[in-house]
A and B are shown apart, each in its own frame.
Chain A
C-alpha cells in the first residue's frame, strides 16, 4: 500500500534490528567473555569487544576442564549430551511411529483405552514425577547410564499423536493397492508408510533433539559420576563455586559450546524446525 513506503518501512527495519540485538546481545557478551582474561572480567573491566584469548580458552574448556569443581573437559560432556539427545530423539520417534501405526491401522480389543493411556501422558512433563521416577530408575540400576538418562524422557505422547494425525491423512487407496499387491502389514509399513513419513520424522527429530540436548532437571538428578554429566549440568556445576574462583571465560566458552549444536540445527534445518514446532503444538 502507499503507506508502506518510506517512513513506516524504516521504522519496521529499525524495530526488527533492535529485536535482533536484544536477542543476540547476551550471546555476544558470552562469546566476548570467553575470549578475554579472567582477571579483567573479575574486576568488572570487561570490554565489549572480543579479546585475544580465543584459542587458549577454548582449548582448555574442551579438552582440559576447569580447575574448579568440575574437572571434566567439555568435550566429554558434549559427547554425553549428544548421546542422550540422539537416544531420546531416535528412541521416541521409533516407538511412537510403530505405536501410532498399530493404533491407526488395526482394530483390536482395548485399542481405545490404550490410546487414551498414551494420550494422557501429554499433559505432564517430567518435573512433576521426578522423585518416583528417580526411585524406579535407581531400582532398575540405571543410574548414571545412558538408558537411565533417555528412557523416562521417551515416555510422553507428542510424537505418537503427530504420527497418528499424519497417518489419518494418508489415503486409504494406498493401503488397498498395497494389499492387492500382496503386501502384509509390515511390508506396507516399511515400503510405503515409512518413506511417506520422512519429512515428519525429520521435523520431529529436530525438535526432540533440541529438547533432549537442553534437558536439565532429570540429568541433574540421576547422574552422580563426573564423567556422565551432560553439558547443561557442567555449566551449572561451574557456577556453584565461590564467585571469586569462577573462571568466567571458561564458563562462557562452555555456554557458547552448549548452544552451538541446537542453534546450528535450528538455523540449518529451519523449515523442518518450524514445521515440527507448529505440528507438535496442535
Chain B
C-alpha cells in the first residue's frame, strides 16, 4: 500500500517526439485512479513509466514516498495486468501465478497457500494445471489478475485489461475489478480509452490528451464542471453539444460578458423540447434530422439554420453536424418538424474561444 505521485513528469523520445509534456498527478493510498483519453494521448506511456518499462526524461515518479525513476521494475513492488494478458505460455496457471513469488525466494508452502487462495477468489481452482492456450479470454484475464494479486504489491497497474473481451464480459469484469480493489484496498492505476469504464471505476479521474493532463478530479465533478471543451465532449455520451457564442441568436440570449466568451456547451440531457425560454438560459430553433430510439430514452438530432456557427471540441477537427437532444421515453417529434429546445442557466457551460478555459458566468 502506498501512494503514487507524479511530479512534472516528461518523456521525449529520441528523435524529438514529446510524448508526455509535464504531468502532475497525486494518487492517494488505496485510491483507484483512472487515466482516460483517446488513442495516442500518452496514457499507456505514462502507466509504463510508473511500471519502469519506459524511461523518464524529466520529473519524478514517487511510489510510497520513494523516487523510483532509476529503480528496475522488479524492485518497485508493483504488479501489472496487460491488455493481452501476457501470461507465460509454457507454464501452467499455477506456475504463472507462482512465478513472481518464486523469484522473490518465497517458500513453496507459502506460495501454494497464496496461489490457492487467489485461485479461490477468482474461481480458477479447477484450472490450476491448465496451460493458457486452453483457457478462454475471460479466464486468461482472471489468471492475469491472480498473478497480480498473489504478489500483494504496493500498486496495481492495469493497461486496458478489458479491451480484448466481448461487451457483456467487459461489464461483468469491470464490476469484479472494482469489488476486488475495494476489498484489497490496493492503490491502483488503470488505463482505458472507454469513458464509461473510466467514469464507473475511478475515485480519481485523469483525462489526458496529447501528452498533457486536461483535468484531474472526481468523475462526477468532472462531468458536471469540465475544464476544457475536450473534457466536455470526451466525458459523457452522447457528447456535449458545443456552439459558438458569436452566433447572433446565442449572443443575444446570453448577454454582455457571457456573449464574448467563445464557446457554449450544453449536454444532450440538459436540452428540453419546449416553447418557453427560461430566464438567463438559452433557447434554439431546430429542424429534426434523425431520431434514435433505444427503449428507455430517445436521441433527437436537429440542425440549426446557421450551420456556420458550429464548433469542434479540438481545433482542426470536424465539428459535429447536429445538436443532440436526449429525451426520456420513446415519444419524439417526427423528422422534418421544426422544434424549439431550451436549457436553463445553471446547465450552461461557457468556455473561452480556444476551448482551453472554463468561464464561470
**Interface residues of A, Cβ cutoff 8 Å to B:** 1-3, 5
Contacts and interface: CB of A to CB of B under 8 A. Distances in A.
Given A2-B52, A2-B53, 14 more contacts: A1-B52, A1-B53, A1-B54, A1-B72, A1-B73, A2-B55, A2-B69, A2-B70, A2-B71, A2-B72, A2-B73, A3-B72, A3-B73, A5-B55
Contacts, number: 16
Interface string B26-65: 0000000000000000000000000011110000000000
A275 B333 CA distance: 62
B69 to A, nearest CB: 8
Contacts of B52: 1-2
16 contacts: A1-B52, A1-B53, A1-B54, A1-B72, A1-B73, A2-B52, A2-B53, A2-B55, A2-B69, A2-B70, A2-B71, A2-B72, A2-B73, A3-B72, A3-B73, A5-B55
Contacts of B69: 2
Nearest to B71: A2
Contacts of B53: 1-2
Interface residues of B, number: 9
Contacts of B72: 1-3
A7 to B, nearest CB: 12
Contacts of A3: 72-73
A2 B69 CA distance: 8
Contacts of A5: 55
| Residue from A1, A2, A3, A5 with most neighbouring chain B CB atoms (10 Å) | A2
A3 B55 CA distance: 9
A3 B70 CA distance: 8
Interface string B230-266: 0000000000000000000000000000000000000
A2 B50 CA distance: 11
| Residue from A1, A3, A5 with most neighbouring chain B CB atoms (10 Å) | A1
Interface string B86-114: 00000000000000000000000000000
A2 B53 CA distance: 6
Contacts of A2: 52-53, 55, 69-73
Contacts of A1: 52-54, 72-73
A1 B73 CA distance: 8
A163 to B, nearest CB: 31
Nearest to B56: A2
Interface string B278-303: 00000000000000000000000000
Contacts of B55: 2, 5
B23 to A, nearest CB: 18
A243 to B, nearest CB: 54
A5 B73 CA distance: 13
Nearest to B51: A1
B86 to A, nearest CB: 14
Contacts of B73: 1-3
Contacts of B70: 2
A64 to B, nearest CB: 54
B51 to A, nearest CB: 9
A5 B72 CA distance: 11
A123 B52 CA distance: 50
A186 to B, nearest CB: 45
Nearest to B49: A2
A165 B225 CA distance: 61
B45 to A, nearest CB: 14
A212 B73 CA distance: 51
A8 to B, nearest CB: 11
A2 B57 CA distance: 11
A3 B54 CA distance: 10
Nearest to A4: B55
A140 to B, nearest CB: 54
B52 to A, nearest CB: 5
Nearest to B70: A2
B271 to A, nearest CB: 50
A1 B55 CA distance: 7
* Closest 9 pairs (CB-CB, A-B): A2-B52, A3-B72, A2-B72, A1-B53, A2-B55, A1-B73, A1-B52, A5-B55, A2-B70
